[in-house]
Amino acid sequence: MPWFRRLAWTPMILLVASGVLAQPDKKKDDKLPANVSYYKDVRPIFQQHCQGCHQPAMAKGGYVMTGHADLFKKSDTEAAGIVAGKPEISGVYQQIIPQKGKKPAMPRGKEPLSQREVTLIKKWIEQGAKDDTPASARLPSVDAEHPPVYKLPPVIDGLAFNKAGTLLAVTGYHEVLLHKADGTGLLARLVGMSEMVQSVSFSPDGKWLAVTGGNPGRFGEVQIWNVEKRKLKLSIPVTFDTIYGASWSHDSKLVAFGCADNSLRAIDAQTGSQVLFQGAHGDWVLDTVFSVKGTHLVSVSRDMSMKLTEVATARMVDNITSITPGALKGGLQAVDRHPTRDQLFIGGADGTPKLYQMFRTKDRKINDDFNRIRTFAPMQGRIFAAKFSPDGSRVVAGSSSDGKGEVRVFETDTGKSVSTFKGINGPIYALAYHPSGSVIASAGFEGVVHLNDAATGALIRDFVPVPLKK
Ligand code: HEC
């Protein structure tokens, strides 16, 4: 959900979701606690270093590490993960220490755990491997066999059609829902680890779905799903907070995203390894998009700026928006790129959608906003979603103002207003243009997906994308 709403939600999340109370151990206090806590000390280590490969949606080695009870079960090799009091026969401990002069087997392919982390885990097992999770943080575990149960429609932050125009991906709580593109049926529920799901994006080749999210104040995650098999391929832990704004490079190789530690990052979508880190923003990075040829990355942030980064060097090479004090009004929330030109459509807190060129053709001058091509008519409230039509001739923006929402379509090259959508009541946080160009999906605070005619704005259909329990 939008960052400011997320803050407002946090107290509610504390009540309904498991374990949000624990903060990551940022101090890295070297002194070991006399009594090692599962909840505060051990679980965050597993979350950061192990659960990406050991969770219900992807149990490598047949071993799940997301719930306390799971840890005591046997893996595929019939070895028990944890034997209380006995680290010497606990698989988890044996896997994180060197064996026969070889570096620790786990975490697979990553740097070994620090000495402190290894000692904490050992001591916790020696002390009985108890679960001290507070009652208020205990929740039934959520996985594909136990999908989320909804009493109310969840806030929707992300929508995406696949290129074939057959699927509509919708963010939910703890999951992404795959619907038929015309809204006539739910096809699959992709249940992952993150409670908050912020963005969804299909790869240009249609094979993969990138999902970003996390648990506020605990961990961030990028998921890569195999669309055809409906199977989680990668779960990459990133930072200690939710992740925003996934986008793909044109060749379906890289996924970029924004983080609440003010960084812009990209990973290799096959291996999950980080290929780009840029720390030039001064606030959360909320959306990203690659240039047409994939040589550059564009990021927008709560710091009000839109920045250009060279992919090969990870260097920030330009501020696309003017950085003159006073020129920018409010944080930027959404960016999209023209399908064939390096032009950018952005929206943010000032409520005025704008079109920019990505690359400067003249040297920067003080006070200029040289890259701006066009300003569209201001909308009600803040803009949270902004997209190009598949042929680039139109743009659509969605906004939120005092509990109401608005969706408007404009002509890209003239700025002329094309349509204002009917049947939109609540704030809009997500938009997707169907590849045919004739239908637009929108959703937001109310948890309802609307499908409108892009040209006339008429409502075709609306539906709640999750099964509701009475
Ligand atoms: C990048 C993926 C990945 C990560 C991260 C990872 N594992 Fe594994 N783990 C595997 C795979 C794959 C297996 C299957 C067995 C094998 O290939 O060795 C496995 C197996 C295991 C097993 C069962 C071993 C056996 O002999 O049955 C344990 C226990 C285990 N991992 C613990 C951990 C712990 C603890 C962490 C975090 C410190 C961790 N893993 C992180 C991929 C991973």
Query: What is the pLDDT, as a whole number, of residue 79?
Result: 87
Choosing from 106, 114, 223 the residue with most ligand 1 atoms within 8 A of its CB, the one to mutate for a pocket test is 106
Measure 410 CA to ligand 1 centroid, in angstroms. Answer: 51
Measure 90 CA to ligand 1 centroid, in angstroms. Answer: 13
Which residue's alpha carbon is at the smallest distance from atom 21 of ligand 1?
61
First to last CA, the chain: 24
Ligand 1 shell residues, CB under 6 Å: 49-50, 52-54, 60-61, 63, 75-77, 79, 81, 91-92, 95-96, 105-110, 113
Q: What is the chain's Cα-based Rg? A: 23
Q: What is the DSSP letter of 278?
A: E
Which residue's alpha carbon is at the smallest distance from atom 20 of ligand 1?
61
Measure 58 CA to ligand 1 centroid, in angstroms. Answer: 11
Which residue's alpha carbon is at the smallest distance from atom 37 of ligand 1?
50
Sign of CA dihedral 226, 435, 394, 204: positive
Gap between the Cα atoms of 88 and 36, Å rounded: 18
Choosing from 38, 51, 53 the residue with most ligand 1 atoms within 8 A of its CB, the one to mutate for a pocket test is 53
Q: Number of C-alpha atoms within 13 angstroms, CB side, residue 197?
A: 28
Atom number of ligand 1 nearest to Cα 78: 27
Q: Which of 268, 259, 315, 312 is nearest to 288 (CA)?
A: 259
Choosing from 54, 55, 72 the residue with most ligand 1 atoms within 8 A of its CB, the one to mutate for a pocket test is 54
The widest CA-to-CA distance across the chain, in whole angstroms, is 72
pTM, whole model, 2 decimals?
Answer: 0.89
Which residue's alpha carbon is at the smallest distance from atom 19 of ligand 1?
61
Which residue's alpha carbon is at the smallest distance from atom 30 of ligand 1?
92
Measure 112 CA to ligand 1 centroid, in angstroms. Answer: 12
pLDDT tens over the chain, length 470 residues: 565 555 444 433 333 333 333 344 444 557 899 999 999 999 999 999 999 999 999 999 999 999 999 999 999 998 899 999 999 999 999 999 999 999 999 999 999 999 999 999 999 999 999 999 998 777 778 899 999 999 999 999 999 999 999 999 999 999 999 999 999 999 999 999 999 999 999 999 999 999 999 999 889 999 999 999 999 999 999 999 999 999 999 999 999 999 999 999 999 999 999 999 999 999 999 999 999 999 999 999 999 999 999 999 999 999 998 777 666 678 999 999 999 999 999 999 999 999 999 998 877 666 668 899 999 999 999 999 999 999 999 999 999 999 999 999 999 999 999 999 999 999 999 999 999 999 999 999 999 999 999 999 999 999 999 999 87
Query: What is the pLDDT, as a whole number, of residue 1?
Result: 58
Measure 87 CA to ligand 1 centroid, in angstroms. Answer: 16
Strands (E), 349-436: 354-357, 372-375, 382-388, 394-401, 404-411, 417-420, 428-433
Question: Taking a C-beta distance cutoff of 8 angstroms, is the pair 241, 259 a contact?
Answer: yes
Question: Taking a C-beta distance cutoff of 8 angstroms, is the pair 205, 222 a contact?
Answer: no
Atom number of ligand 1 nearest to Cα 92: 29
Which residue's alpha carbon is at the smallest distance from atom 14 of ligand 1?
61
CATH number for domain 159-463, candidates 3.30.70.260, 1.10.460.10, 2.130.10.10, 1.10.3720.10: 2.130.10.10
Neighbours of 88 (CB within 10 A): 10
What are the boundaries of each domain within the chain? 34-132, 159-463
Question: Taking a C-beta distance cutoff of 8 angstroms, is the pair 374, 353 a contact?
Answer: no
Query: What is the pLDDT, as a whole number, of residue 139?
Result: 74
The DSSP element (H or E) to which 49 belongs, if any, is: helix 43-49
Measure 327 CA to ligand 1 centroid, in angstroms. Answer: 51
Atom number of ligand 1 nearest to Cα 79: 27
